[in-house]
Amino acid sequence: MSTLGYTGLQDSASPLMEQLIYFHDHTMFILILITTLVGYIMINSSFNSLINRFLLENQVIEIIWTILPSIILIFIALPSLRLLYLLDETNNSSITIKTLGHQWYWSYEYSDFLGLEFDSYMIPSSDLNPADFRLLEVDNRTIVPLNTQVRLIISATDVIHSWTIPSLGIKADAVPGRLNQVSFLVNRPGLFYGQCSEICGANHSFMPIVIESVSVDSFLNWISISSEN
């Protein structure tokens, strides 16, 4: 998760987020080159006291600064389209989880395991442990197995919410009466935090999301214990 003074993207915890970071770096590299070139030309022109009387209406320059931006846009558009289709792709998932947004908490249902379901509320600041994160900890975390394709079906019961985990590269609107679907794979264990990213009312900033990635054996053990309870 991001900490104080952290200005970059969060460390990736999924292949999708890795591709998003690669695309971000690719685009920023091109932007830095363009900014440097344009800045050099502007500074050089400002300090140049000589005048080229053949520069006005130069067809060669017109052709160059028309074709060159088109080529640059192609180098940006092709990776962007590839990434867009990767984000929308729904692979054969091993687990399906349904989440519903409420004012102001999330509820989860593991449809593959005997209707296991629970609500996830933010822990008040007065009940936090010293190592917990304020406004981010929940009483019931969403447990997912490591290196397993998970399908998440997202909706809402009242107003529009948005289920977001930045380190997984996931952001999907929870719209009442509509099912949105995302697919993700967590490739490292740990806790991954997110928050509702749609302004949904007075307590919008008090409905966090916590994903806990564990081994498959630990996940099955948690499922068996939760189903008995």
Measure the CA–CA gap between 59 and 43, rounded to whole angstroms: 23
Q: How confident is the model at residue 23 (pLDDT cuts 50, 70, 90)?
A: very high
Q: How confident is the model at residue 1 (pLDDT cuts 50, 70, 90)?
A: low
- Which pLDDT tens digit goes with each residue over 153-201? 999 998 999 999 999 988 999 999 999 999 889 999 999 999 999 998 8
Structural domains in the chain, CATH included, are: 15-88 (1.10.287.90), 95-228 (2.60.40.420)
What global pTM score does this model have?
0.81
| Strand intervals (E) in 69-188 | 95-102, 105-110, 116-120, 142-145, 149-156, 161-165, 170-174, 180-185
- The whole-number pLDDT of residue 123 equals 92
Q: Average pLDDT of 32-39?
A: 94
- Which pLDDT tens digit goes with each residue over 118-133? 999 999 988 888 888 8
Q: Which pair of tokens denotes residue 14?
A: 């999924």
> Which string of b and e fits 37-69 if b means at least 16 CB within 10 Å?
eeeeeeeeeeeeeeeeeeeeeeeeeeeeeeeee
Q: Average pLDDT of 60-88?
A: 88
Is cis: bond before 65, omega within 30 of 0? no
Q: Which pair of tokens denotes residue 202?
A: 């007075």
- According to DSSP, the β-strands at 170-174 and 180-185 are unpaired
- The whole-number pLDDT of residue 29 equals 93
DSSP 8-state class, residue 1 = -
- The whole-number pLDDT of residue 2 equals 65
- The whole-number pLDDT of residue 46 equals 84
Please report, as a single letter, which amino acid is at residue 78.
L
Q: Which pair of tokens denotes residue 195?
A: 């928050």
On average, the pLDDT of the chain sits at 88
- pLDDT at 57 exceeding the cut of 80: no
